[in-house]
Amino acid sequence: MLRSLQWRLTLLYILLIVLAMQLVSFYLTQRLEEYYLDEAKWALLNSGSLAVESLQREFREGPYPRDLAEQVVNSLRGRDEESIILLVAEDGEVVATSLNNAAQSYYGLNILAFATVAETLDIERRDTSEGIRTDEGGRRYYTAALPLEGELLVDGTVVPISLLFVQEPLDHTYRVLQDVRMRLLNATLLAIVVTAILGVLAAQTIIRPIQEVTSKAARLAEGNFDLEVKVKSPDEIGKLADVFNYLTAQLRATLSELNNDKMKLEAILTQMTNGVVAIDSHGKIIHANIRARDMLDLPPEGADIGTILTKLNQGSLDRLLIGSGPKVAEVSFTEPQAISVRSYAAPFHAADGQISGAIIVLQDITEEERLEQMRREFVANVSHELRTPLTTIKSYAETLLEGGLESRETSGRFVSVINDEADRMARLVKDLLTLSQFDFQGSVMSKGAVLLDELILDVADKLAMSARRRNLRFGTDFPEELPAVLANSDKVEQVLVNILSNAIKYTNEGSDIAVGLRVQQGFVVTSIRDQGPGIPEEDQPRIFERFYRVEKARARELGGTGLGLSIAKQIVEAHGGQIGINSVPGQGTEIYFTLPVYVPPAEEMSDYA
Q: What would the pLDDT profile of 197-249 be if each residue is shown by its tens digit? A: 776 776 667 677 776 777 777 777 777 767 776 666 666 667 777 777 777 87
pLDDT at position 603:
47
Residue 594 predicted with pLDDT over 90: yes
Lowest mean pLDDT among 265-279, 284-298, 424-438: 424-438
Question: What beta strand segments (E) does 33-156 contain?
Answer: 64-65, 84-89, 94-97, 129-134, 140-154
Mean pLDDT confidence for 282-292: 74
Q: Would you place residue 275 in the very low, low, confident or very high pLDDT band (cuts 50, 70, 90)?
A: confident
SS3 track for 484-542:
CEEECHHHHHHHHHHHHHHHHHHCCCCCEEEEEEEEECCEEEEEEECCCCCCCCCCHHH
Whether the CA torsion 158, 159, 160, 166 is positive or negative: it is negative
Class of domain 8-177: alpha beta
> In terms of C-beta density within 10 A (0-12 exposed, 13-18 middle, 19 or more buried), how is residue 355 classed?
middle
Residue percentage of the chain with pLDDT more than 70: 72
What is the per-residue pLDDT across 44-54, written as a single tens digit (0 to 9) for each?
Answer: 888 888 888 88
Helices (H), 362-407: 366-401
Q: Would you place residue 483 in the very low, low, confident or very high pLDDT band (cuts 50, 70, 90)?
A: very high
Whether 466 and 504 have beta carbons less than 8 Å apart is answered as yes
Residue 121 predicted with pLDDT over 50: no
Lowest mean pLDDT among 95-104, 176-185, 458-467, 478-487: 95-104
Stretch (H or E) spanning 170: none
Nearest C-alpha neighbor of 76 from the set 45, 101, 102: 45
What is the per-residue pLDDT across 434-466, written as a single tens digit (0 to 9) for each?
Answer: 666 666 555 567 888 999 889 989 888 888 888
Nearest C-alpha neighbor of 314 from the set 338, 357, 283, 346: 346
Highest mean pLDDT among 61-75, 323-337, 573-587: 573-587
What is the per-residue pLDDT across 387-417, written as a single tens digit (0 to 9) for each?
Answer: 667 777 777 677 777 766 666 676 777 777 7
pLDDT at position 171:
78
CATH number of 272-363: 3.30.450.20
Nearest C-alpha neighbor of 371 from the set 546, 536, 539, 540: 546
Whether 242 and 231 have beta carbons less than 8 Å apart is answered as yes
Class of domain 369-439: mainly alpha
Nearest C-alpha neighbor of 551 from the set 565, 538, 535, 528: 535
pLDDT at position 440:
59
Lowest mean pLDDT among 190-194, 292-296, 312-316, 479-483: 312-316
Nearest C-alpha neighbor of 205 from the set 230, 237, 183: 237
Q: Would you place residue 133 in the very low, low, confident or very high pLDDT band (cuts 50, 70, 90)?
A: confident
Residue 418 predicted with pLDDT over 80: no
Give bridge partners of residue 96 from the DSSP assignment.
87
pLDDT at position 120:
46
* Three-state SS at 325: coil
Give the mean pLDDT of the chain.
75
Class of domain 445-602: alpha beta
Cβ-Cβ contacts under 8 Å for 563 (sequence gap 6 or more): 428, 431, 432, 434, 435, 546, 547
Mean pLDDT confidence for 531-550: 78
Nearest C-alpha neighbor of 233 from the set 208, 254, 264, 214: 208
Q: Would you place residue 116 in the very low, low, confident or very high pLDDT band (cuts 50, 70, 90)?
A: very low
pLDDT at position 524:
93
pLDDT at position 485:
92
pLDDT at position 124:
44
* Three-state SS at 329: strand
Mean pLDDT confidence for 519-548: 84
Report pTM. 0.40
Highest mean pLDDT among 255-264, 266-275, 367-376, 487-496: 487-496
